[in-house]
């Protein structure tokens, strides 16, 4: 037991140097305002908090996922992003606060504020048209720990404009089912936050994001791919259709017994 603890400690100690070297190698892909020292300390803190979760993965695998966060300037400790183990794989996933941070920072149309809210039973949520412009009216009940029935996200632009997106619980759960990481720690432990991330993600389709370099764009797009696994979509559709087969003719009992 003592030997294993020593090995874990040595691996942690080396990680600080390895992360720094990795960041130096990809310097041109990092955000202009990137704080390398803070990022390394942040990563080590997360790895130290739950070493057993990550020690089964090889050092290159952990580093390759950590560096994805650096491309976007996101921090693990603030839950802006996660290292998500599922099966024998480890993946980088953007969190709700990370999605908001990126939308606000990289929107071509300057953003004043962006946020998402959960809709629970008892809350009032209305989509309305005011002077020809779509808008929403939300009256939450407080306190309210009732069942979540949906979520919505709003972006307010500095020029006075706004846009929003709303999703029912069914739509949110459908997105979860399509995700490669549907049973991950992020979805299990922070379901509400992942619902908000999902609707923020949907809203981002209407926000023109201009990243600083192609690596940032591809990392952002890769995260979306985790949420829409084509194999899972196919499995769910097949399962749904299996219980809704319509026969165009009567099936008669065979005489051959």
- At residue 231, the pLDDT reads 45
Helix segments in the chain, DSSP class H: 2-25, 36-49, 51-54, 59-72, 96-106, 169-178, 185-189, 191-204, 214-227, 230-242
Residue located via tokens 């009032």: 124
- At residue 90, the pLDDT reads 86
- At residue 205, the pLDDT reads 87
- At residue 167, the pLDDT reads 96
- At residue 141, the pLDDT reads 92
Domain ranges of the chain: 2-77, 97-240
pTM of the model: 0.75
Among 130, 112, 47, 37, residue whose Cα is nearest residue 82? 47
**Which residues share a beta bridge with 82?**
93
- At residue 252, the pLDDT reads 37
Quote the CA–CA distance of 222 and 249 in Å, as a whole number: 46
As given in the structure block, the two tokens for residue 156 are 């307010």
Quote the CA–CA distance of 234 and 241 in Å, as a whole number: 11
pLDDT by residue, tens only, the chain of 257 residues: 445 444 444 555 588 999 999 999 999 999 999 999 999 999 999 888 888 888 788 999 999 999 999 999 999 988 899 888 877 788 898 988 999 999 999 999 999 999 999 999 999 999 998 888 888 999 999 988 999 999 999 999 999 999 999 999 999 999 888 877 677 777 877 899 889 999 999 999 889 999 999 999 999 998 877 655 444 434 433 343 343 333 232 333 334 44
Residue 140 CB contacts under 8 Å (≥ 6 apart), including other chains: 117, 119, 120, 123, 124
């Amino acid at each position: 037991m003592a030997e294993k603890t020593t090995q874990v400690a040595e691996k942690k100690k080396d990680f600080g140097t390895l992360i720094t070297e990795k960041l130096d190698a990809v310097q041109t892909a990092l955000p202009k305002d990137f704080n390398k020292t803070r990022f390394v300390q942040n990563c080590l803190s997360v790895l130290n908090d739950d070493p057993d979760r990550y020690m089964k993965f090889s050092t290159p695998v952990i580093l390759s996922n950590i560096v994805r966060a650096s491309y976007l300037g996101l921090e693990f400790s603030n839950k802006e992003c996660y290292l998500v183990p599922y099966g024998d794989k480890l993946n980088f996933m953007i969190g709700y606060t990370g999605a908001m941070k990126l939308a606000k920072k990289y929107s071509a149309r300057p953003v004043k504020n962006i946020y998402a809210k959960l809709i629970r039973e008892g809350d009032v949520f209305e989509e309305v048209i005011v002077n020809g412009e779509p808008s929403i009216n939300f009256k939450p009940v407080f306190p309210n720990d009732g069942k979540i029935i949906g979520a919505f996200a709003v972006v307010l632009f500095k020029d006075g404009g706004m846009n929003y997106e709303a999703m029912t619980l069914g739509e949110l759960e459908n997105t979860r089912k399509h995700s490669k990481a549907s049973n991950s720690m992020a979805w299990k432990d922070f379901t509400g936050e992942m619902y908000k991330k999902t609707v923020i993600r949907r809203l981002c389709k209407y926000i023109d994001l201009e990243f600083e370099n192609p690596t940032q764009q591809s990392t952002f797009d890769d995260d979306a791919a985790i949420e829409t696994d084509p194999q899972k979509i196919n499995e769910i559709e097949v399962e749904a259709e299996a219980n809704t087969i319509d026969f165009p003719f009567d099936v008669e009992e065979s005489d051959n017994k």
